[in-house]
Amino acid sequence: MHSRTIAAIATLLAALSLQAQPLSGDALKAKLRSNLDIAVGQYKLLQRNVPADRMPQNFDIATATLKTSDVTWWCSGFFPGTLWYLFEHSRDKELRSIAEARLRQMEPMKHYTGNHDLGFMMFCPFGNAYRITGNPAYKTTIDTAAMSLATRYRPQIQSIQSWDSSKNFRCAVIVDNMMNLELLMWASANGGSPRLREIAVTHANTTIERHFRPDNAAFHVLDYSLGGGGRLLRKTTWQGASDSSAWSRGQAWALYGFSSMYRLSGDPRYLDQARKLAAFILDHPRLPKDGIPYWDFDAPNIPNTLRDASAGSILASAFLEMAGQVKGKEGTRYLRAAENILTTLSTDTYLATPGTNGGFLLKHSVGALPLKGEVDVSLTYADYYFVEAMMRYLAL
């Protein structure tokens, strides 16, 4: 995307995102229920637009182009995962039927070992489905997926390898990997091998030790050599502005991952890490007042650059979890941060008009700007975590 186009979009978003006091309490809940009702219609439209043997990937509103993927794409589980949340909200039988069909499409991926993303691909859809229905077949799928993910654990680096070796990385461990630990923790706590928990805990502890800058922001990629005891070669990025920058969605993944690990383990080290990162984000001078971060906290040309609604939606869900993990003013701060983001994402700037946007719910996310991939588009994981955050807020 041309730099002038990015600047124009950034200026438009800044102008449109000016808002009054964020909604809270009953007023916000009423708005979120309306959003979820809109989402039901949008996801039925998305289902009609996506072939039965494909999954939605993104929608470019500028060109009105819908891109789909096969089930091996790391985002393939978000569409069925969102469908289950929307069924939970609406009890719409048509949605349940669609969600069940999409699970059948995903089920063979329980054996996938091609990367670390089994949590996204399998626990988001099957975890929700099992929680809502109690169908034991879904638990069996989760258990198998957890064992598949465990094959990527590398003892010599005390971490789960994210991507296979390539010309770019020898043994990459990315901060996104924190999001896949819930699959291991849940499976272990529900009759699975204790080793699954051990892997998740070891990976999380290694992440605390090696993955953060002195200012408590997370690096995106750590690249290791698997020979010679697993030497750490470099701390770098793949989707961020620079090796030392704070890529916004990476910070969101880390915040969500550590708040989840605290819920699942009770280990205060994980809450402490989440608190440090929350302070980095909320106190950052370049976090916009409406709560939707620029695609990188250290991106060049701020404020004339793009926001990332996907980072915002992940942060909202994580802040809501953290609001229930601490007390007093700190908990209130996290709650207000989530309310601010949810209010912003509920405006016409980000929320699609019913019947538009290919069926996606949110606009204006950024996948990998340096790679010129999925720039200022709608993304399945932006929708997933927005819907999750709305469901979490309504459950308060």
Catalytic positions, please?
117, 176
Q: How many angstroms separate the CA atoms of 153 and 134, rounded?
A: 29
Q: Collapsing DSSP states into helix, strand and coil, what is residue 267?
A: coil
- State the Cα–Cα distance between residues 283 and 276, nearest whole angstrom: 11
Cα–Cα dist 236/226, whole Å:
17
Nearest Cα to 28, choosing from 353, 346, 362? 346
Tell me, rounded to whole angstroms, the distance of Cα 352 from its chain centroid.
19
Rg over alpha carbons for the chain, rounded to the nearest Å, is 20
Beta bridge mates, 375: 366
> What distance in Å separates the CA atoms of residue 125 and residue 259, rounded to the nearest whole number?
20
Task: Determine how β-strand 172-174 pairs with β-strand 159-160.
Answer: unpaired
Contacts of 200 (CB under 8 A, 6+ apart): 181, 184, 185, 188, 261
**What sections of the chain are H helices per DSSP?**
3-16, 25-49, 78-90, 93-106, 118, 128-133, 136-150, 181-189, 194-210, 248-265, 268-282, 309-323, 328-345, 380-394
In the block, residue with structure tokens 């859809």: 125
Q: To 5 degrees, how large is the angle CA 249–CA 369–CA 219?
A: 40
Helix (H, G, I), strand (E, B) or coil at 333: helix
Give Dmax over CA atoms of the chain in angstroms. Answer: 58
- Name the strand (E) or helix (H) holding 66: strand 65-69
